[in-house]
Structure 1
Amino acid sequence: MVWKNPWYDATKAHHTPQGFRNPEADTRQQGDLQRWRKERKASGLPFPPAGGYDAFRQQWYQPAHLQGDDDAVWFLGHACIMLRLQQQVVLIDPALSPRASPLRFYGPKRHTPAPLAIAQLPRLDYVLISHNHYDHLDAPTIRQILKRFPDVRFVVPLGLKPWFTRQGARHVVQLDWWQQATFGDIQVHAVPARHWSMRTLKDRNRSLWCGWTVHSQTLRFWFSGDSGYSDNLLEIPRRLGPFNLAALPIGAWAPEWFMQSQHMNPTQAVALHRAAGCPLTIPIHWGVFELADESLDAPPAVLSQAMQAAQLDERLFSAWRIGESRALNFI
């Protein structure tokens, strides 16, 4: 029996009767995954960071500090961002487990520790999830959140609400691209991303993927989620900008012949940083899991080169330490 998309809207190009799709063409061909895996294994990729994993952690990791109640933002590793806005706490894509996998003993493992535990949070009001891949939607972390904060509100892309309901979540809002939800003074928009979804062998692209914007009285934040580059993304700052904070991915781009339709490279991230108005931008999707061919320490270096080539201010878009926070009093 063919699964039918219960949210299908024939007027929307990213909808199909069987699920969802990108408006952009998929550059991958049948057999490319096997080709990539074979080439990767033959070359022994990915290589360790230049100074080894211990040196990498010493340079790029610190425990997160939660003192104070002023507005602030934390980079918690990979794609996980935490915001404190008007004493409300927002977590985005919290994946804090030892592996990004449905299995405890197999799959991409963490090479830097999670800089905090859910048990350390004094409060949690909202959780935003960009899509259902295991490095962004981590079931053990979600269960910990629900145990400690049973009334937390989840905001998810179209098709993911049933998964959260099965976990016991009481408050779940699911949104399509360009739809919004308002919680007091905080407004959240789901925005397009060029990616895909799959959590089991039978559910490929049955739920949507997205980025998020978060607006408050002082903050205009764009979180891109996982995304390959597309000129279609320029519509986001046109509609919802200008932004004074962004989080854009800089990792898991190599090899580009295989990754380009799902992950952007640092040069493309710099182009989006410029299009967004050059806000303070947090580089995400790097430093924790080895998901592609580049080393863990390559994304910060390549980002620096790209910013210099574009003659842009590196203070506004350069790598943060995992666990680092900054006050949002610049806004």
Structure 2
Amino acid sequence: MVLSIVIIIVVIAVIAVLFIQFSPQFGGKASEEAIATYKTSKNYKDGLFKNTNDVKLDMSLKDMGKALSGFFKSSPNTKPEHDLPTSTLDSLSIINYTGETRLVWFGHSTFLLQTEGKIILIDPMLGSVPAPHPALGSKRFSETLPITIEKLPKIDAVIISHDHYDHLDYESIKALKDKVEHFFTPLGVGAHLQKWKVSKTKITELDWWQETTFKNLKLACTPAQHFSGRGLIDRAKTLWSSWVIQTESDNIFFSGDSGYANHFKTIGEKYGPFDFAMIECGQYNKMWPEIHMFPEETVQAGIDLNAKNIMPIHWGAFKLAMHTWTDPLERFITESEKLKVNYTIPIIGEFVHLKIKKQNNETGFWFRKY
């Protein structure tokens, strides 16, 4: 009996190692040449990228057990009772658009941004499960996407915040790569893209506070308080970030994933005020307060950034924490109303025009029906 159990454990371990070793989902490793450049970064030490503040990334065994048990037990209202509504996009309406800056949300942290005749995708996770294998993740809340990858037109740029599965998806990149002119990532993430057959010449990696221009757009890679990793032994081997996107008429902020810290105020002082800020507001827990924000902190981050309008993101697609799926929105709305902060909560697939200061309540509270 004991021998049988040992054999089963060994077989499972071997299968896991082989899966991690040979599955393309786990991405690539930085070259020695790339690592040499990382060593010049203030955010890189002893082979790992670091947060500015002293952030604890390792849970105790007790907390780890609590976290894992939360995903496997049936907690009430962590997912909507029905598929979330999705507005459908037409590829021609995207191609032929020549108006002011607008964006459309795909759920979670994925956006299509149109500005000055350019099409930009942000954290294009368009798969159904944020995991290296379908059996290891929670299925998307909506059955369909606003538009399929196949119907998307040519993409000028893809901006990626970090390499976690709910932000960087292998299948999505594989399907998109030939449509995309250029990829912009924090340091290290380019190794994954190269592993997935994206040409090195199409990738620009930036450190925090570095800037670049692309077709009259100014892009700035800015700090976030989070971590990275796609496997068991690659934590913090790539950098994580937020992004600033500036056009001649608009100033946009995208938070990526981040705990609340003083970097929001620093970014606001350097690049603000912002016309529109997409800020994470979901997948939080008291066991990991430094790497994901609570909704009240999302609102404060928007104030720190000096944002005229903020949109809560990182919700509405996947169960990655144990709170109810509407808790982020209810708490966010309450705090926003209390502090008189303008906000937007669009339906998935609905275009948001940056010049609108606040969406009406009937549309903004759509999630309460589900």
TM-score, scaled to structure 2: 0.79
Aligned to 1:57: 84
1:103-149 deviations in Å (ceiling 9; x for gaps): 133312211232221222222100001000000000100011114x1
- Contact 2:78/2:322 (8 A) holds in 1: no
Q: Could you tell me which residue of structure 1 aligns to residue 119 of structure 2?
A: 89
Q: Which structure has the larger Rg?
A: 2
Contact 1:8 1:19 in 2 (8 A): no
**Higher RCO (C-alpha 8 Å, min separation 6):** 1
Q: Tell me which of 238, 242, 263 is aligned to 2:269.
A: 238
CA distance in 2, matches of 1:301, 1:92: 25
Distance 1:243 1:328 in 2: 10
Give the letter for the 1:327 counterpart.
H
Matched, 1:183 2:214: yes
Q: For the structure 1 residues 38 and 146, does the alpha-carbon distance in structure 2 shift closer, same or farther, using more than 3 Å as the test?
A: closer
Query: Is contact 2:160–2:185 with CA below 8 Å preserved after alignment?
Result: yes
Match status 1:306 vs 2:335 = yes
SS at match of 2:137: coil
Does structure 1 residue 264 correspond to structure 2 residue 289? no
Alpha-carbon displacement from aligned partner over 1:25-83 (angstroms, at most 9, x marks no partner): 2245432542323552696336345xx421x614xx33345525123111111001111
Matched letter for residue 63 of structure 1: T
Q: Which amino acid aligns with 1:21?
A: K
Residue equivalent to 2:343: 317
Please state if 1:99 is matched with 2:129: yes
Residue type at the aligned position of 1:135: D
Shift of 1:7: 3.2
**Greater Cα offset, 25-34 or 266-275:** 25-34
- Contact 1:46/1:290, CA 8 A, preserved across alignment: no
Give the alignment of 1:1-331 within 5 angstroms.
5-9=35-39, 12=42, 14-27=43-56, 29-37=59-67, 40=70, 44-45=74-75, 47-49=77-79, 52-54=80-82, 57-58=84-85, 61-64=86-89, 67=93, 68-69=96-97, 70=99, 71-112=101-142, 113-147=144-178, 149=179, 152-170=181-199, 171-253=202-284, 255-256=285-286, 258-310=287-339, 312-313=340-341, 316-329=342-355
Alpha-carbon distance, 1:244 to partner: 0.6
C-alpha distance in 2, partners of 1:160/1:41?
28
What TM-score, normalized by structure 1, do the two folds share?
0.88
CA, structure 1 residues 184+20, in 2 after alignment: closer, same or farther (shift >3 Å)?
same
Report the CA distance shift for 1:114/1:33 in structure 2 as closer, same or farther (over 3 A): farther
Q: Give the superposition deviation at 1:286.
A: 0.2
Equivalent position amino acid for 2:224 in 1 = A
Alpha-carbon distance change, 64 to 32 in structure 1, aligned in 2, over 3 angstroms: farther
Contact persistence 1:288–1:296 (CA under 8 A):
no
Quote the offset at 1:11 in angstroms: 6.6
Instruction: Name structure 1 gaps, 5 residues minimum.
Output: none
Q: Once the 2 structures are TM-superposed, how far is the Cα of residue 231 of structure 1 from its aligned partner? A: 1.5
What is the letter of the counterpart of residue 53 of structure 1?
A: E
Percentage of identical aligned residues: 27
Gaps of 5+ in 2: 1-30, 358-370
SS in 2 for 1:6: helix
Q: CA RMSD in A?
A: 2.2
Query: 159-168 or 85-94, which moves further after superposition?
Result: 159-168
Helix, strand or coil: the match of 1:299?
Answer: helix
What is the DSSP-based 3-state SS (H/G/I as helix, E as strand, rest coil) of the residue aligned with 1:152? strand
Structure having the higher helix fraction is 2
2:203 counterpart letter in structure 1:
V
**Alpha-carbon distance between aligned partners in 1 of 2:90 and 2:324, rounded to the nearest angstrom:** 28
**Distance (whole Å) between structure 2 residues aligned to residue 64 and residue 141 of structure 1:** 18
